[in-house]
């Protein structure tokens, strides 16, 4: 997902426009009002009949009360920027899915909504929780910053929570020494350029049962080296083990480790549009709740 630091950019924009407005309110507005008052005293009792005199008065008042360009722009943009800042920092933030690591749950080009308060209200930019609300649960689809790319948004599924023992071998998941059940759903064709296509294999889509709740997961009939390897991880306190639903084509905690609590962005809860390419037609066929 995008590596552009939008929270920092938006925060700076709100601070700058708000500061300009405040400086104008405290220091510039009063002299401006005094100039307007002085002009008004120079044109006492203007009658509408004196068009030339009235026109001169209007011009003089306009010049005396004219705001600096920076103040004018700040007053125009600050309310909009503040509303956007508040919404995306504390309520809901939109994202677009750029890769296939979460197929079949999320497709490339899906536009999703992320709940920013599901795991607690966080200080913008610093991302520190100041009002705890809840903790990630197994099976949640979560947006976060991975440890190897701390400025890039990633989206994966929460597989392991603090204290869990996670084992993955031959495309089978084990949690705390118990095999996680997989129920066959269908066969599927692999996406272009994927490991499975390169080996001319088909995909198997299954319902994987995390804490009794099913979610779609797909695996190649011949596991990739990452999925075939038998490895075990212990999830430390304050961290989460993340995996993509496209198990043979997902760089995740199996590669770069667990995700810390202060790297969490929010919980994905809905797909509201699909638009894969600029010249393509947006679609709403995939709209729905993220499961």
CB 222 within 8 A of CB 195: no
CB 276 within 8 A of CB 265: no
- Catalytic residue, chosen from 89, 116, 156, 216, is 156
- Catalytic residue, chosen from 101, 194, 224, 253, is 101
CB 111 within 8 A of CB 94: yes
Rounded to a whole number, what is the largest CA-CA distance in the chain? 94
Q: Which long-range contacts (CB under 8 A, 24 or more apart) does 188-191 make?
A: 188/104, 188/218, 190/220, 191/100, 191/103, 191/249
The C-alpha atoms of residue 268 and residue 128 are separated, in whole angstroms, by 19
CB 141 within 8 A of CB 267: yes
In sequence order, what E strands does the chain have? 92-96, 110-115, 121-122, 129-131, 141-144, 154-160, 165-169, 172-175, 178-179, 182-188, 203-210, 213-220, 231-234, 239-243, 259-260, 264-274, 288-289
CB 174 within 8 A of CB 234: no
| Cβ atoms < 10 Å from Cβ of 47 | 8
> For this structure, is 156 an active site residue?
yes
What residues are labeled active site? Answer: 101, 156
């Amino acid at each position: 997902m995008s590596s552009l630091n939008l929270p920092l950019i938006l925060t700076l924009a709100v601070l700058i426009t708000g500061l300009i407005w405040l400086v104008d309110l405290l220091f510039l507005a009063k002299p401006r009002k005094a100039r307007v008052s002085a002009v008004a005293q120079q044109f006492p009792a203007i009658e509408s009949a004196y068009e030339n005199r009235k026109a001169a008065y209007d011009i003089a008042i306009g010049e005396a009360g004219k705001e600096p360009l920076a103040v004018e722009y700040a007053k125009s943009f600050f309310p909009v920027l503040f509303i956007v800042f508040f919404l995306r920092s504390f309520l809901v933030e939109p994202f677009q899915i750029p890769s296939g690591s979460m197929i079949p749950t999320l497709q490339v080009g899906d536009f999703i909504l992320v709940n920013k308060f599901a795991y607690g209200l966080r200080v913008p930019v610093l991302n520190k929780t100041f009002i705890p609300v809840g903790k990630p649960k197994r099976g949640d689809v979560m947006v976060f910053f991975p440890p190897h790319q701390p400025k890039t948004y990633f989206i994966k599924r929460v597989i392991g929570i603090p204290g869990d023992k996670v084992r993955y071998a031959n495309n089978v998941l084990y949690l705390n020494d118990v095999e996680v059940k997989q129920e066959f759903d269908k066969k599927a064709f692999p996406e272009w350029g994927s490991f499975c296509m390169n080996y001319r294999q088909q995909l198997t889509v299954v319902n994987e049962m995390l804490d009794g709740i099913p979610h779609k997961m797909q695996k190649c009939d011949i596991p990739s080296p990452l999925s075939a390897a038998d490895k075990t991880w212990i999830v430390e306190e304050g961290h989460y083990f993340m995996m993509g639903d496209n198990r043979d084509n997902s760089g995740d905690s199996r590669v770069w480790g667990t995700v810390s609590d202060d790297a969490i962005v929010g919980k994905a809860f809905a797909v509201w549009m699909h638009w894969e390419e600029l010249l393509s037609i947006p679609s709403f066929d995939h709209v729905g709740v993220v499961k």
